[in-house]
Amino acid sequence: MKGQGLFAAAIALANVELIQAHTFIWGVYVNGVDQGLFNGIRIPAYNGPPPRGYANSPVKDVNSIDIRCNVMGDHQNPYTIKVKPGDNLTLDWKHNNRTKADDIIDFSHHGPILAYLSPDPPKENSFVKIFEKGKYEEGATPFAPGKWAISSELKSNNGHMNIRIPAGLKAGFYLLRGELIALHEGDARFDQNPIRGAQFYPNCVQLEVLGDGTVELPEGVSFPGAYKVSDPGIHHDVYCSTKTTSLKVPCTTTYQIPGPTVWSGAWPDTTKVEVGAQLGPSTATPWSRWISKSVVTSATIVGGSAQVIGTSTYQASWSANYVTPTPVA
């Protein structure tokens, strides 16, 4: 019985960590000016009714269309953020709410942060990597994870991830794909153990680039298609990232960020921007649609509880041509 109790406690702790771990983009600052709560962001689908469902689950199957812009990422946001070449964008990653007290993501979620840019809508091989940062310091003791862009930098920077619009970029509509890859269970492969494996947090932001730039994005990669579960930057044990000899055999201490190299037309480095006042609320309002195992449930929210209207089956449908988002009535 004692062993069963310890096992149950371990499962409960794992479930608590699972809930605590998750994150997505809640806001975007342009040159330090906030664009408002969720404006321009293709919010990942909620996985249950208010108040217990949440929209910050990871994607684990790299061959799923969800790896592109997360679950229901083909659904447009009614607002598109206007930017110019050279503008500094600050993506505001949060877990529970858009406040400085928010924990951003669980402390155990070590891994890289990345950003891709694609014309909107994406096409084959249209995602171009414009930013990446992975492990930048090894741990000092055996099994210490080292310092990573997610757990040591993004968390300490209040969830702010800085990206810059490429110089001279041609005017048009684009998707900025921000991504975190959490590797705390990356020593296992998802195709061999679906309970574990690397966790991906992709999130897309709708942009309209203004101006008279002439630079076009080069050929990039496709999502899905850019990653394989066997890639060394995905199937990786973060607790091998030490300066001292590990007891594990084999144990790879170096880390290779997955995907293509950063485009030569991207800015060589990004600048931390001082952000101004936050606009709008800091908490999400009750949602009226959620998805579970490809079944979309629609409801009305009365007194904070959901009254189901109907259900439908979801299958991602990405347009081949740009469609102007439908404004909110």
279 domain-assigned: yes
Residue 199 CA from chain centroid, whole number: 10
225 domain-assigned: yes
Q: Is this model's pTM higher than 0.85 or not?
A: yes
202 domain-assigned: yes
- Could you read off the pLDDT tens digit of each residue along the chain, which spans 329 residues? 333 333 233 333 333 333 445 899 999 999 999 999 999 999 999 999 988 899 999 999 999 999 999 999 999 999 999 999 999 999 999 999 999 999 999 999 999 999 999 999 999 999 999 999 999 988 877 778 889 999 999 999 999 999 999 999 999 999 999 999 999 999 999 999 999 999 999 999 999 999 999 999 999 999 999 999 999 999 999 988 666 555 555 677 889 999 999 999 999 988 889 999 999 999 998 899 999 999 999 999 888 788 999 999 999 999 999 999 998 76
- Can you point out the beta strands (E) in the chain? 24-30, 33-34, 81-83, 88-94, 113-119, 128-133, 135-137, 147-148, 160-164, 172-182, 199-209, 289-292, 295-302, 305-313
Domain tally for the chain? 1
Quote the domain boundaries for residue 271. 22-285
290 domain-assigned: no
165 domain-assigned: yes
How far apart, in whole angstroms, are the C-alpha atoms of residue 47 and residue 289?
Answer: 9
How far apart, in whole angstroms, are the C-alpha atoms of residue 326 and residue 272?
Answer: 33
301 domain-assigned: no
CATH number at residue 208: 2.70.50.70
10 domain-assigned: no
Nearest to 301 by CA among 112, 92, 53, 57: 53
302 domain-assigned: no
3-state helix, strand, coil in the chain (%, to 5): 10, 30, 60
